[in-house]
Structure 1
Amino acid sequence: MKRVISIFVIIALIMTVISGCSKSKTTASSGDNSLERVKKAGKIVIGVDDTYPPMEFRDKDNNLVGFDIDIANAVAKKLGVKVEFKPTSWDGIFVALQSKKFDLIHSSVSITDDRKKTMIFTKPYIYGGNAIFVNADNTTIQNQDDLKGKIIGCQVSTTAEEVLSKMNGIKEVKKYNGMTEAFLDLNNRRIEAVVSDPQVGDYYIASKKDKIKRIKSMLNQEPIGVAFRKEDKELRDAYQKALDDLKKDGTLSDISKKWFGYDVYSNNN
């Protein structure tokens, strides 16, 4: 009987060792210490393009402000860490993420199938897209078909550039590093229309409604999320939980009202 018990004890010990090795291998193979890394550093480093009002931009005192900035700060507070924002030009922001210049991009990133090949995202926290903006006295552009033969402005490396590149008949797509320059050229009639996220364009023309208007017809609608490196799932999941909590407690609604003048989450968007 003792012999039988001994055999069972030996088998149990072997199984425990095998199980322990298996867990160690799984942990080692996953290699995801992204949340632990941020917690240990006591801060989360976030890449932003600071030329995209009202989402992320510089105010008159050169402070970094905006809808995304307020949300990122609220998320960091939930995670118990500080925030360090790293302003980066949009045409290099995804390369900088992969080069580990920062932990994530919270800067109005449209979630596309192409981007999902190299990054992972939170669920959409707002919806954007591509709207057409023209001078207030323009009567020739009513929809996307009217863009044919025209010079159109957009920000470089955005989905607006991608959408416009697939449209036939446009005379020229003029690309800008920031939306402010694009709208300035529109106002000065160097271009005939600007394609941009509706929130960005609406904010820009808020005090210029007598000069610039938005066409009712949208080119498309796009989900916007926070982008992470593919291996950083733990950090993404923690960020998502914080966003969910902020939506539930009304913080996202308050931030929305502050920057847009209305609650984009009122219909569970």
Structure 2
Amino acid sequence: MHQKTGLLAAVMILIFSPAVPAAQDVLRIGADLTNPPFQFRDKDGNPGGFEVDLTNAVCKAVNVKCRYVVNTFDAQIPALLARKVDVILPLGVTPKRKAAIGFSRYVFHLPTRLVARKASHLQPQVDSLKGKDIAVQQGSIQEIYAEKYWRPAGVTIKNYPDLEAIYEDLYAGRVDGALAPAVTVMYGFLHTPQGADFALTGPEVTDADLFSKGSAYGIRHDDSALTQLINQGLEAIIRNGRYAEITQHYFGAQDLSVKE
């Protein structure tokens, strides 16, 4: 899962200072690199993962270079609005986020599910979770949902800076479950030795006012030219088959399509 595609070495430069200005032929991409298999650091410390490979392909298609600016997930939108980055790697397109930033066309959809130990028989409903400790990632849609519906009903919500920290506490038994993107949990945790005793439980958690139809690149409202450029790149890699190749590499036949 941590193998680099041929595009990675060719077009990526990793930087750690968000204050570096973007040249005309360089896009500064906001990333947290703590969400395998979507984004992570490879064995050499370079950006890797599904979203990174897709972004490399998009940049190549429109003849620009992507330069990664690494920050925590909940700092991505503030960094975009402060013009420290030009684009954010795909995130859920929610009404609240749409009020703050613009988006590209949809890139993929990730359903939200509860993950817990198989023996716990927990379900994503308040009567099952009351008195339990449930982990969520700070700044995520899942955090907003859990804080709105579960905490007032007696569920203890624990907030984490990234999914890797959630996986550690799940395995250690410091939380009873986590609300997170299902595909991310499946490949980043359940398919590892530490996740062997855990499973996704219950149906997809949805809410029309909170959850998104899909994930897309985050771009400032006033940057219509960049939105058009990103969409052009996405359309190009869909047409030439690169999008399908990258998806197959990471997820096989898993359906990540956005239902319009």
- Asked if these proteins are the same fold (TM beyond 0.5), I'd say yes
Q: C-alpha displacement at 1:266, in angstroms? A: 7.4
Give the Å deviation of 1:134: 0.4
Residue 188, structure 1, aligned to residue 172, structure 2: yes
> Which segment drifts farther, 112-121 or 205-214?
205-214
Structure 1's 266 and 227: CA in aligned 2 closer, same or farther, altered over 3 A?
closer
Q: 1:266 to 1:162 in 2, by over 3 A?
A: closer
Q: Who is 2:219 aligned against?
A: 228
1:143 matched to 2:124: yes
SS in 2 for 1:134: strand
Superposed counterparts of 1:4-83, under 5 Å: 41-83=24-66
In the aligned structure 2, how far is the partner of 1:50 from the partner of 1:267?
A: 23
Please name the residue that 1:205 is paired with: 190
Task: Tell me by how many angstroms 1:193 deviates.
Answer: 0.4
Which amino acid in 2 is paired with 1:246? I
The answer for unaligned runs of 5 or more in structure 2 is: 1-20
1:254 alignment partner in structure 2: 245
- 1:217 maps to which residue? 203
C-alpha contact 1:45 1:85 (8 A) present in aligned 2: yes
Q: Deviations over 1:39-71 (max 9, x none)?
A: x63211100111111111113332211111001
- Percent identity, aligned pairs only, is 24
Partner of 1:90: 73
Counterpart of 1:100, as a letter, is R
TM-score, normalised to structure 2's length? 0.82
For 2:205 and 2:27, how far apart are their aligned partners in 1?
35
Q: Which residue of 1 aligns with 2:255?
A: 264
Separation in 1, partners of 2:26, 2:52: 15
Larger Rg: 1
- Tell me, in whole angstroms, the C-alpha distance in 2 between the residues paired with 1:218 and 1:256: 22
Structure-2 residue corresponding to 1:177: 161
Inter-partner Cα distance in structure 2 for 1:237 and 1:62: 31
Structure 1: which 5+ residue stretches go unaligned? 1-36
Aligned partners of 1:136 and 1:210 also within 8 Å: no
- Stretch deviating more after TM superposition (40-49 or 70-79): 40-49
Q: TM-score, normalised by structure 1?
A: 0.80
Distance 1:170 1:137 in 2: 22
User: What residue number does 2:228 align with?
Assistant: 237
The one-character-per-residue Cα deviations of 1:159-208 (angstroms, maximum 9, x if unpaired) are: 11000011142431111111011111111111000111112101121124
Residue 100, structure 1, aligned to residue 86, structure 2? no
Q: CA deviation at 1:255?
A: 0.9
Partner of 1:258, secondary structure, is helix
